[in-house]
Chain A
Amino acid sequence: MKKLTYFPGCSAHGTSEEFDSTLKLVLKTLDVELEDIPDWNCCGATSAHVMTENFAYALPLRNLVLAEKLENTTIGIACASCYQRMKVTKVHMDEKPELAKMITDKIVEEGQYHGNVDVKSMLQFCYEDIGLETIKSKVTKSLAGLKVACYYGCLLTRPKNITKFDSPEYPVSMDKIVEALGAKATEFDYKTECCGASFSISNTEVVLNLSGQILEMAKESGAHAIVVACPLCQSNLDMRQPDIEKQSGKKYDIPIFYFTQLMALAFGYPKEQLRFPKHIVPVEGALSNIGKIEPEPEKIKKTKKAVEAESEVE
């Protein structure tokens, strides 16, 4: 039984509830026990770090201080933005302990920061701490036949020197996880492009354009669905899809899954538990591909001469 400190973040209790609940199903199967950070607070998200730098550190720092009081040394974070803020704070505070002390002295009542916890996104935790082999071993219902484009967004692997995880330009960890589930990850060049993020509210046009390009490229890659690990990416690509379709006049019909939903599906959980009704774009079309395995292209018959040449070498 592995133990993991959990920081759900605000969206896990709202827009990305299906991420939170399927994550818990998946981790149950993988024998991981979650322990919430007691009395956790907002990570500050975009708002805090556009205000003042030290305030942007203070909010996640309090969470880190609280997490240090627990037994486990790793915090798993569902939301990409929470992960980013917590990880940046951890790395910077480890580099500048005097600044950490100044902030905790002034703002954090719960004690001092010692730098004893690591911060990981749930994607990173599944990839590094659980491992592909274990994930593969838990699959009871292969997703073979399903083709997905893995979309990481801008935060999960960036900046490189902070996250120190996967590639900042062409990450593959999620691709490998979905392939462990039996699905096929398509070659998708837009995996780290911007979805428009919180402009969804203030300047929706931007999101329609940027998320539209991501949908377009995912479709082009032959994917039936997009897989994400970030609540905001999910909501932009899913919730704005009808508007994007209206604007471009194209029909995408691409459901947006959390990677944990696909894991839970492959681990044999019934569809009813995976919260699909929360999706705007219906998922049935994409999921109907599971089990439809394309025949492999026939192997090109080697000419007699080539065979001879090879055997000669051997």
Chain B
Amino acid sequence: MARVGVFVCFCGANIADFVDVPKVVEETKKIKEVKYCIEYKYMCSDPGQGMIRNAIVENRLTSVVVAACSPRMHEKTFRKALSDAGMNPYLLEVANIREHSSWVHQKEKKAATEKASDLIRMAVAKSIANEQLHEISVPVTKRALVIGGGIAGIQAALDIADARIPVTLVERSPSIGGRMAQLDETFPTLDCSQCILTPKMVDVASHPYIELIPYSEVLELDGYVGNYKVKIKKKASYVDFSTCTGCGACTQKCPVKIPNEFNMNIDKRKAIYSPFPQAVPNKPVIDAEHCTMLLKGKCGICAKVCEKGSINFKMVDEVIEREIGAVVVATGYDLWDPKPYEEYGVGRFKDVITSLEFERMVSASGPTNGVPVRPSDGKVPKNVVFIKCIGSRDEAKGIEYCSKICCMYTAKHAILLHHKVHDSHAYIFYMDIRAAGKGYEEFVKRAQTETAATYLRGRVSKIYKKGEKLIVRGEDAQIGQVVEVEADLVVLATAIIPYKTNPELARLLGISYDKYGYLSEAHPKLRPVETAKAGIFLAGCTQAPKDIPDTVAQASACAAKVCGLFAGDTMKKDPMISKVNIEYCSGCQNCVKVCPYQAIVTEEVPFGHGVKEMRTVAKINEGVCQGCGSCVAICRSMAINLAGFTDPQIINEIVSI
């Protein structure tokens, strides 16, 4: 005879304000299998869990129902309480009377109370048919994949590798370094970005535990936490890295000139190129879209000048495979295209530029050797207007969110402008100054006092040309008047957006992303680096806009998570997976087709009853099965059952209401 214990939680006021908990308890006590029922303010608290433990022992319970919040929240907590009391943890059922009742029926208390009683009755009925289940152990491949070689990927890779765990780092461009390599100096300390980044890049290349695969992309990810298989496409570089010395003769002689994306297209690069002088690896690649030899079969100068004979025009893309246990995604960010701001003359006025273009110009290694100039005539600007929130916080033209770093980098740009052009003046149009962070407010003050940048609170309504000057018309909300500033150069602080291939990547990794294309963390507060898929973690701007300190912190957090995952030789796995009853299986293999995880294979078994022939039946790979239940639904002969959701359990639930 089943002896079920039911524990109803108030969840403070979350449940109790809308569900009449004593009434629910009274109703529950009427169920004949319920031998014990009690309510408590916070079931998840230590005393609450104690009540469960004691009741199991004292009332010789055979299963337990906790009526509280979503099982996603505290199922693990209560399972542990069961095992602490010597009971199999899978004899627990959670009735979700918070998300499924009190929160969604706040205006109908009576109905909410009745629904809570129904949910409990179902859980009780189900729990009676619960079976004892045991966690599955699966082996772990101790190698991590890091996607993206910006500062986030670099930091994560180094931290994981320092724990002597092998890392494969995949970078789409010819060199690691990412956006940080494009920056001149960094806020709030004005450290030279290259000087603090390049040593880390070199560390990556020389680390014995890091395998760096530049100029490559992830194609496919199969498997499950601890046992992933990844396919990586190594794009043809047409340069044999093993013999190339990085002398640069090929780049020098290449006659093709195309806009240099590393310098925001301000200057030109060659078709055979290395993105920047400190590139790691410092080997050139041939841009197949622009190389005349590859396009038309003419030229080949690079091959003629290469003393080592490293140029190979016949090289093709190569797909390689790696077995890995965990993934860190760090694909970084892109900049929002300010084209919709037609009133600012974007695209018409050469001297209206984006902040990353300005950043490249003030960079000592940039296209103008560290001196900002007007793209229209090459003159050094005196009056520079910076406009913040371009695309960010703008629902009409751009995106709703705050891009987070623009207030700080604009303050930095004002300071850098003053350092490079002493008699210049910076005007900054802003909506708010968001300078939360260590040393950040002080840094903005420095821009306002030391640099004497003019901060104007208000939006710019129009930019028009008068002679050689750009007239910036905006509102100064603090004096309540329209102001016009004569500018030589206008810099737009464009918003951060996720890298454009994020949705595609998310789909191939099997993780989710938000409406903007940022990859979604498992919980916005308590699980900020994990994704909903076990073993896949997020670092940097792929998850949300972030500055360098936050990015590095998150990358290190990812590394800690990966190291934690790899701490044992095997990994525990939920036992709630499908099982095939081969007596019933007809071998139709419909389940093989619907399984989204490729977890079902077939095997040959003896026919039985003295028949010599073999027959085909389905077989579940325990390690791969995620317990989604698709195979259960498709199986015509009801040969597959999902542990924890067996037919008797489900039927019990249905019958009880």
Contact = CB atoms under 8 A, between A and B. Distances in A.
B248 interface: no
A220 interface: yes
Contacts of A168: 342
Nearest to B271: A313
B348 A313 contact: no
A179 B464 CA distance: 22
B464 A217 contact: yes
A310 to B, nearest CB: 9
A169 B338 CA distance: 14
B255 A169 contact: no
Most buried by A among B462, B463, B467: B462
B343 interface: yes
A220 B255 contact: no
Given A313-B255, A313-B256, A189 B464 contact: yes
Interface string B447-483: 0000000000000001111110000000000000000
A170 B465 contact: no
A148 B463 CA distance: 21
B466 to A, nearest CB: 7
B34 to A, nearest CB: 53
Contacts of B463: 189
Interface string B599-628: 000000000000000000000000000000
B465 A187 contact: yes
A167 B342 contact: yes
B281 interface: no
Contacts of B292: 313-314
A308 to B, nearest CB: 9
Given A313-B255, A313-B256, A220 B342 contact: no
A69 to B, nearest CB: 38
A69 B345 CA distance: 44
B342 A170 contact: yes
Contacts of A312: 255, 299
Interface in B417-466: 462-466
B446 to A, nearest CB: 35
A309 B255 contact: yes
B559 to A, nearest CB: 46
A190 interface: yes
B220 to A, nearest CB: 38
Contacts of A187: 348, 465
Interface in B561-605: none
A225 B121 CA distance: 83
Nearest to A189: B464
B255 A189 contact: no
A49 to B, nearest CB: 22
B342 A189 contact: no
B273 to A, nearest CB: 15
Given A189-B464, A220-B466, A170 B348 contact: yes
Contacts of A314: 292
A193 B473 CA distance: 12
Contact of A189 (B256, B345, B467): B345
Nearest to B344: A169
The DSSP consensus for interface residues of chain B is mixed
Contacts of A190: 464
Nearest to B463: A189
A169 B256 CA distance: 38
B341 to A, nearest CB: 8
Contacts of B345: 170, 189
Nearest to A170: B342
Nearest to A171: B342
Interface string B282-299: 000000000010000001
Contacts of A170: 342-343, 345, 348
Interface string A154-192: 000000000000011110000000000000000101100
Nearest to A311: B255
A126 B462 CA distance: 29
B377 to A, nearest CB: 16
B311 to A, nearest CB: 17
Nearest to A161: B396
Nearest to A220: B466
A277 B299 CA distance: 67
Contacts of B464: 189-190, 217
B465 A169 contact: no
Interface string A284-309: 00000000000000000000000001
Most buried by B among A170, A187, A189, A220: A189
B306 to A, nearest CB: 18
A220 B464 CA distance: 12
A217 B462 CA distance: 14
B343 A169 contact: yes
Contacts of B343: 169-170
A314 B292 CA distance: 8
Contacts of A220: 466-467
Nearest to B466: A220
Contacts of A313: 255-256, 292, 299
Contacts of A217: 464, 466
B493 to A, nearest CB: 19
Contacts of A193: 462
A167 B348 CA distance: 14
25 contacts: A167-B342, A168-B342, A169-B342, A169-B343, A170-B342, A170-B343, A170-B345, A170-B348, A187-B348, A187-B465, A189-B462, A189-B463, A189-B464, A190-B464, A193-B462, A217-B464, A217-B466, A220-B466, A309-B255, A312-B255, A312-B299, A313-B255, A313-B256, A313-B292, A313-B299
Interface of A: 167-170, 187, 189-190, 193, 217, 220, 309, 312-314
Interface of B: 255-256, 292, 299, 342-343, 345, 348, 462-467
Per CB-CB distance, the 4 closest pairs between chain A and chain B, nearest first, are: A189-B464, A169-B342, A169-B343, A170-B342
Given A189-B345, A313-B292, A313-B299, 15 more contacts: A169-B342, A169-B343, A170-B343, A170-B348, A187-B465, A189-B462, A189-B463, A189-B464, A190-B464, A217-B466, A309-B255, A312-B255, A312-B299, A313-B255, A313-B256
